[in-house]
Amino acid sequence: MSVIEMRQIKREYRMDTKKSKRKQSEAVIVRALRGLDFSAEEGEFVSVMGPSGSGKSTLMNILGCLDKPTSGTYMLDGVETSTSSANTFAYIRNRKIGFVFQSFNLLSRTTALENVELPLFYRQKDKNDGKQRINLSRKEKAIAALREVGLENRMDHFPSQLSGGQQQRVAIARAMVNDPAFILADEPTGNLDTGMTLEIMGLFQQLNDMGKTIIMVTHEPELAAYTKRIITLRDGNLVSDCPVTERGNALSDLAKWKKDHLLLAEDI
Ligand SMILES: Nc1ncnc2c1ncn2[C@@H]1O[C@H](COP(=O)(O)OP(=O)(O)OP(=O)(O)O)[C@@H](O)[C@H]1O
Ligand SMILES: [Mg+2]
């Protein structure tokens, strides 16, 4: 079964413009997505590319159940989202999708552990969960997620006490803690230097090797080369969908980069 199955997705934005006092307002329709078909199976690692204005954010918002299409169908993990009620839609968003943003979006006065625990509070409403049991398992799950990203020894740090790469690791642990159907990452390394970028891409590759499904928007072909498949949007259409044939290994590139970087530092 596909994790994501989109059929003929259209998203139109209606813009009301009033040119002058005498003229009546006119509606302009922006066709941001024009009938897009896209499916992804479990275990895929997909890059979403395309020029500015091509519809990437619009697609990400729909994939992330932050927005519904004007028409078309979107099945997420076997559930049709476009006709779901507001409650179900929010439930799917909270439980089925792990978000990773360019700007990390961590709560600043909250420790790494508490940040990762946050999505698990939504679980409280689930049936058959005794409160005592949830409190215990919530912390355990958050610690396990931090361990997966190699940060169990930084649990009690606040975001300001962590490097950018470490903050993004916390965000990735938070995205994974609910064991979502897929991780949705929007330019996750946009605010990071080369070393930290390679570290994060290496972590994504490791998580993907463990079976996690990842969808990532990126402007950088070098980063897309670490994924397994690249889809490209143009003017609201999906214009290409290609497997990555010569896939890079981010951790070995990181090792090379460190070697060069350290040599350079010694030369100075
Ligand atoms: N809320 C909105 N109202 C009206 N038009 C919008 C809205 N959001 C996006 N658009 C339009 O839809 C089209 C696609 O926008 P989108 O933000 O999805 O592009 P993008 O590929 O993410 O671009 P970028 O790389 O610059 O982030 C653009 O023409 C944009 O102007
Ligand atoms: Mg965008």
What confidence tens digit (pLDDT) does each residue in 171-208 have?
999 999 999 999 999 999 999 999 999 999 999 999 99
State the pLDDT at residue 137: 83
CB 250 within 8 A of CB 226: yes
Write out pLDDT tens, residues 39-88.
999 999 999 999 999 999 999 999 999 999 999 999 999 999 989 999 99
pLDDT higher than threshold 60 for residue 20? yes
- Give 11 Cα–ligand 1 centroid separation in angstroms: 10
- Total Cβ atoms within 10 A of residue 13: 11
Ligand nearest to the CA of 51: 1
**CA dihedral sign of residues 63, 205, 96, 160:** negative
In this prediction, residue 132 has a pLDDT band, given cuts at 50, 70 and 90, of: low
Pocket perturbation via mutation, ligand 1, pick of 11, 57, 219 by most ligand atoms within 8 A of CB: 57
Calculate ∠ Cα 89-41-67, nearest 5°.
25
Q: Among 123-137, 141-155, 204-218, 224-238, where is mean pLDDT lowest?
A: 123-137
Which is more confident, 156 or 134? 156
Nearest to 58 by CA among 3, 118, 2, 12: 12
State the pLDDT at residue 261: 84
Q: Provide the percentage of residues in the chain whose pLDDT is more than 70.
A: 91
Beta-carbon neighbours within 5 Å of ion ligand 2: 56-57
Helix (H) or strand (E) holding 165, with range, is helix 164-176
Kindly report the pTM of this predicted structure: 0.90
- Give 16 Cα–ligand 1 centroid separation in angstroms: 16
Ligand nearest to the CA of 50: 1
CA distance 151 to 168: 11
CB 55 within 8 A of CB 66: no
CB 141 within 8 A of CB 177: yes
Which is more confident, 27 or 147? 147
For the domain spanning 2-267, the CATH number is 3.40.50.300
CA distance 183 to 201: 13
Using DSSP, state whether 186 is helix, strand or coil: strand
Using DSSP, state whether 104 is helix, strand or coil: coil
Q: Of ligand 1's atoms, which has the minimum distance to the CA of residue 51? A: 25
Residue nearest to atom 29 of ligand 1 (CA): 53
Name all residues whose Cβ lies below 6 A of ligand 1: 13, 15, 30, 32, 50, 52-58
State the pLDDT at residue 267: 62
Query: What are the tokens at 57?
Result: 């954010």
